[in-house]
Amino acid sequence: MRGEFFAPGSRVLRPNWARTLCWIVEESPKREEPPMCRMIAYASPTTHAILDLFHPEEFAQFEFLSDLHGDGWGMAWLTGDATPRVESTRSVISAFKDEQFKEFAATPLGRAGMAHIRLASPGFAVNVENNHPFVVGRWAFAHNGSIPHSERLLDLLSEESLSRLNADTDSKRYFLLVLQRIEELGDVAAGFRHAIKEIRTHCRVGGLNALLLSDDVLIGVQAQGETKPPMKHLLELVERPEDLPPGHDETYYHLHYAHRGDAIVIASSAILDEGCESVPDGSMIAVDLETNYVSVTTLETPKELAGFAL
């Protein structure tokens, strides 16, 4: 099946909204683009290719969206060998046009990982350094959203964190603040909770959905808060509202998850088929990669909302 939908003559056809968006993006290069990204992730006790864990229509949907989210792509994964470690690759080529994206997606890279397609926030350069996922030490991070006035976060970063700032994006600043708080507090949930609270205080609104991967945990954070989806910008991309891709509506910042055999997959809105579960706003889904236990907990006052084993 993997060869069929990537190959010419695939049975998974590009939907009408994808053809419409591709034409508008190519014919309107001077328009101001809203900050938008899409991301997916997976975790399992065994090694998988990320392509094999998503239904062909789902992965085709993710790939087609890079017609719009065309400022590059990246993947990070936890290797499945005797000494697991986080590795990554990134490109500034649209995933839909990049054969390497297809090759990496079809390769069993590890037992946990993530993929991200980027549409750069206004004012931030399109280059490999600014592409997600970012990797620092044993941690990989991807972000869906934008943070206004993110330069204010620089005052919160330690000298050590600032020395890691080799990318000029709001997302890398967010990542470094989260990582700094995790290192200070010794707890992933507490680190995210404190970082999100500080960002809300200093920058007001901001879409803060994120993925975080290390050698022992995969995290998906749903943190939309009062941030509104960029509907005005989205509607400027199409002739009619019904031409927008699925999930490019009021559910734009919603994160979902689903079981796939011995694995769990996490994705931005409207990528997963019906039957998936929503991650409630202000909460996180965590996969303990040592015990294979999955939990959904609130961020503000930690309370388990759901839990199960893979």
Residue 183 is assigned to a structural domain of this protein: yes
* Residue 139, strand partner residues: 136
Above 80 in pLDDT, residue 160?
yes
Q: What are the two backbone dihedrals, phi and then psi, of residue 110, each rounded to the nearest 5 degrees? A: 180, -175
Query: Which of 64-73, 251-260, 290-299 shows the lowest mean pLDDT across its residues?
Result: 64-73
Query: Which of 31-35, 86-90, 221-225, 252-256 shows the lowest mean pLDDT across its residues?
Result: 31-35
Task: Determine the Cα–Cα distance for residues 165 and 30; give it in Å rounded to an integer.
Answer: 29
Q: Which of the four pLDDT bands, split at 50, 70 and 90, describes residue 229? A: confident
Q: Which residue has the higher pLDDT, 24 or 223?
A: 223
Above 60 in pLDDT, residue 7?
no
Task: Determine the Cα–Cα distance for residues 98 and 106; give it in Å rounded to an integer.
Answer: 13
Above 70 in pLDDT, residue 116?
yes
Task: Determine the Cα–Cα distance for residues 86 and 142; give it in Å rounded to an integer.
Answer: 14
Cβ-based neighbour number of residue 110 at 10 Å = 25
Cα 108 versus chain centre, distance: 19
Residue-wise pLDDT tens digits, 205-219: 788 999 999 999 999
Residue 88 is assigned to a structural domain of this protein: yes
With contact defined as beta carbons under 8 Å apart, do 287 and 44 qualify?
no
245: left (phi over 0), alpha (psi -120 to 50) or beta: beta
The boundaries of the domain holding residue 236 are 2-6+37-309
Place of tokens 């997606």: 105
With contact defined as beta carbons under 8 Å apart, do 128 and 154 qualify?
no
Residue 163 is assigned to a structural domain of this protein: yes
Average pLDDT for the chain: 84
CATH label of the domain that carries residue 184: 3.60.20.10
Query: Which of 28-42, 122-136, 138-152, 257-271 shows the lowest mean pLDDT across its residues?
Result: 28-42
Q: Which of the four pLDDT bands, split at 50, 70 and 90, describes residue 44? A: very high
Averaged pLDDT, 137-151: 92
Q: What are the two backbone dihedrals, phi and then psi, of residue 10, each rounded to the nearest 5 degrees? A: -55, 150
pLDDT of residue 8: 35
With contact defined as beta carbons under 8 Å apart, do 45 and 310 qualify?
yes
Counting the structural domains of the chain, the total is: 1
Percent of the chain with pLDDT over 90: 55
pTM of the model: 0.85
Q: Which of the four pLDDT bands, split at 50, 70 and 90, describes residue 141? A: very high
Residue-wise pLDDT tens digits, 52-97: 999 988 888 888 776 666 578 999 999 988 899 999 999 988 888 8
Residue 22 is assigned to a structural domain of this protein: no
Residue 16 is assigned to a structural domain of this protein: no
Residue 32 is assigned to a structural domain of this protein: no
Residue 127 is assigned to a structural domain of this protein: yes
Residue 100 is assigned to a structural domain of this protein: yes
pLDDT of residue 3: 36
Helix (H, G, I), strand (E, B), or coil: what is residue 231? Answer: helix
Instruction: Spell out the residues 6+ positions from residue 232 whose beta carbon is closer than 8 angstroms to its own.
Output: none
Above 80 in pLDDT, residue 2?
no
